[in-house]
């Protein structure tokens, strides 16, 4: 099975992982629909705070050790692989314990909200956060070893179980403690699946810890961990600023607007994950031409998925907010649309390749500057433009950081910035989406007040106009041209 998975092409690997990611996103999207109707406002606010804590914990605690598997596993012999995996597990277990302590009353700086969450969930919040840090290895391990189908099956099955457990807890108890208990049960199940995965590896589930090798892994990971942590804090800074400058209802609206951000992760991460082992091997062999080819094809796939999907969500943002969170949260619409612009820009993102290209120190400096830009822009935006302005920090900082990343990697590969991503395809796809958006703007109340009919009309108009413009402008021909770029060994 593992051998067959390794032969799966980038396109098929990305398609499988993207399909699984999209199903999981839909399931995650359904969760708040149920929670807002079964938990009171204060309790739902606590749940949102728990998810914010989870995001912060996963941004800081893993220290890029799970992602380092993409670098070490493809080139390591089997005996060394067991030590690489064991080191990551031991490190994450320690960091998970620290995260659980920070989320408990043992942390004197935790504040009233954190301590109340711990008390109301009977400690479940700390257990959930600790196990989640440990299980961050499951996002990369199977993929780094080429076992795409295993990753897809495990993620999909566990996501279904998690959704059912949360729904049952919310509907039958209306209590946060049981909702968090459902989350803890899901993490325990994921631990069992991880142990089962290790048993299917060559040599069984025997892994070991080698302190010397762990030091090597940490030296590799730490620069990227700092950069990734800065990036995660940059993304979350909008929410912290909104929480400090606006009342709780406005803060809730901003968090609702931010629910679309996982769309980019769920589309880009499978594409990146399917490509990273090959990118690592190409860079290790010194084939800059192959590295460039892989980056170009990844950007092509991301463009064809991210821009149309983000455009669709942009068109339907008012209807989505009204259907999911009711009309009282329509203030989230401009925030959501600002984040959707950021998602569109991720079609040409290339910063994810920095670890593989061994540019850790530079990545740290870029992300540190990005955090400062994000905080400053969010503060200024919130002061000048209100709630939607608070979201501008992430958008502006992302654009500037990716511009620098493009310049750096282009120089490393000996090519121009315009050759680092499919510029013509990006322009055609973005143009088609923009014209489709413009067409739907003439029908803001399509359906005469019927929400579902309005959604159907706007979606149909956007799709028809966008597809017509894309085809007429030569988008299909451009895709075929990029797909025809030969491998380095065939040139």
Angle at CA of residue 394, ends 392 and 399, nearest 5°: 95
Residue 445: pLDDT over 70: no
High-pLDDT (> 70) share of the chain, %: 92
Cα–Cα distance for residue pair 18/66, rounded to 1 Å: 20
Which pLDDT belongs to residue 25? 77
303 vs 364, which has greater pLDDT? 303
- Positive or negative CA dihedral for 72, 78, 80, 82? positive
With 50 as the cut, is the pLDDT of residue 4 above it? no
Residue predicted with more confidence, 194 or 247: 194
Position 112 pLDDT exceeds 80: no
Please tell me the distance from the alpha carbon of residue 438 to that of residue 289, in angstroms, as a whole number.
39
**CB 350, CB 295: distance < 8 Å:** yes
Q: H-type helices in 246-331, by residue range?
A: 248-257, 262-284, 288-315, 317-325
Could you give phi then psi for residue 469, rounded to 5 degrees? Answer: -65, -45
Q: What is the dihedral of CA 377, 379, 383, 384, to 10 degrees?
A: 0
Asked if pLDDT for residue 426 goes beyond 80, the answer is yes
Q: What is the pLDDT of residue 168?
A: 97
pLDDT of residue 486: 53
Query: Does the CA dihedral 204-205-208-209 come out positive or negative?
Result: positive
- Considering 114-128, 316-330, 411-425, 434-448, the range whose residues carry the highest mean pLDDT is 114-128
How high is the mean pLDDT of the chain? 85
159-195 residue pLDDT tens = 999 999 999 999 999 999 999 999 999 999 999 999 9
Query: Rounded to whole angstroms, what are the CA distances from 138 to 1, 69, 143, 170, 180?
Result: 18, 11, 9, 27, 20
Question: How many angstroms separate the Cα of 400 from the Cα of each of 341, 383, 396?
Answer: 14, 22, 6
Evaluate if residue 470 carries a pLDDT over 80. Answer: yes
pLDDT tens figures, 231-242: 788 878 888 788
Radius of gyration of the chain (CA): 22
Structure confidence at residue 224 (pLDDT): 79
Q: Are 394 and 231 a contacting pair, CB within 8 Å?
A: no
pLDDT of residue 8: 59
CA atoms of 366 and 231, how far apart (whole Å): 9
What is the spatial distance between Cα 482 and Cα 248, in angstroms, rounded to a whole number? 48
| Percentage with pLDDT > 90 across the chain | 38
396 or 331: which leads in pLDDT: 396
Which range is least confidently modeled, 38-42, 210-214, 216-220? Answer: 38-42
Closest CA to 53 of 195, 203, 189, 240: 240
The dihedrals phi and psi of 436, each to the nearest 5 degrees, come to -60, -40
Most confident segment among 32-41, 218-227, 394-403: 394-403
pTM, two decimal places: 0.72
CA–CA separation, 159 and 163 (whole Å): 6
10 vs 437, which has greater pLDDT? 437
Q: What is the mean pLDDT of residues 289-312?
A: 88
Q: How far apart are CA 144 and CA 138, in angstroms?
A: 10
Q: By the 8 A CB rule, do 108 and 163 touch?
A: no
DSSP characters for 417-448?
GGGTTTHHHHHHHHHHHHHHHHHHHT-TTTTT
For 40-60, what is each residue's pLDDT tens digit? 877 877 888 898 889 889 989
Name the DSSP letter for residue 89: H
Picking from 81-85, 127-131, 142-146, which range would have the lowest pLDDT averaged per residue? 142-146
């Amino acid at each position: 099975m593992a051998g067959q998975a390794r032969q799966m092409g980038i396109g098929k690997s990305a398609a499988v992982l993207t399909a699984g990611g999209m199903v999981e996103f839909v399931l995650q999207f359904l969760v708040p629909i149920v929670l807002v109707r079964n938990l009171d406002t204060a309790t739902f606010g606590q749940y949102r705070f728990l998810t914010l804590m989870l995001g912060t914990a996963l941004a800081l605690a893993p220290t890029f050790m799970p992602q380092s598997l993409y670098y070490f596993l493809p080139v390591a012999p089997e005996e060394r692989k067991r030590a690489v995996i064991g080191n990551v597990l031991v490190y994450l277990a320690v960091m998970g314990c620290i995260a659980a302590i920070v989320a408990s009353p043992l942390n004197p700086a935790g504040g009233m909200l954190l301590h109340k969450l711990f008390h109301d969930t009977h400690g479940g919040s700390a257990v959930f956060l600790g196990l989640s840090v440990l299980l961050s290895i499951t996002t990369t391990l199977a993929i780094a070893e080429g076992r795409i189908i295993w990753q897809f099956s495990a993620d999909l099955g566990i996501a279904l179980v998690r959704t059912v457990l949360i729904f049952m807890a919310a509907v039958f108890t209306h209590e946060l403690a049981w909702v968090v208990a459902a989350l803890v049960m899901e993490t325990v199940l994921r631990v069992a699946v991880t142990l089962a995965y290790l048993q299917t590896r060559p040599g069984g589930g025997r892994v070991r810890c080698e302190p010397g090798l762990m030091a090597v892994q940490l030296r590799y990971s730490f620069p990227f961990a700092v950069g990734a942590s800065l990036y995660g804090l940059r993304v979350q800074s909008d929410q912290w600023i909104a929480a400090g400058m606006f009342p709780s209802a406005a803060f809730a609206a901003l968090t609702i607007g931010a629910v679309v951000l996982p769309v980019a992760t769920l589309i880009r991460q499978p594409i990146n994950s399917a490509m990273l082992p090959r990118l690592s091997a190409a860079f290790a062999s010194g084939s800059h031409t192959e590295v460039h080819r892989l980056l170009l094809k990844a950007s092509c796939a991301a463009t064809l998925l991210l821009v149309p999907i983000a455009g669709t969500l942009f068109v339907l943002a008012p209807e989505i907010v009204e259907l999911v969170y009711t009309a009282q949260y329509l203030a989230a619409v401009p925030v959501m649309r600002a984040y959707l612009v950021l998602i569109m820009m991720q079609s040409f993102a290339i910063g994810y390749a920095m670890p593989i290209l061994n540019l850790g120190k530079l990545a740290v400096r870029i992300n540190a500057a990005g955090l400062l830009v994000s905080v400053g822009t969010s503060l200024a935006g919130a002061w000048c433009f209100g709630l939607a302005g608070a979201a501008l920090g992430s958008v502006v900082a992302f654009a500037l950081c990716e511009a620098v990343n493009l310049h750096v990697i282009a120089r490393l590969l000996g090519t121009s910035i315009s050759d680092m991503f499919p510029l013509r395809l990006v322009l055609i796809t973005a143009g088609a989406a923009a014209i489709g958006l413009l067409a739907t703007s003439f029908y803001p109340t399509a359906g005469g007040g019927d929400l579902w009919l309005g959604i159907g009309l706007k979606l149909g108009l956007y799709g028809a106009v966008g597809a017509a413009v894309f085809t007429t402008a030569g988008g299909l021909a451009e895709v075929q041209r990029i797909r025809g770029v030969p491998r380095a060994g065939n040139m």
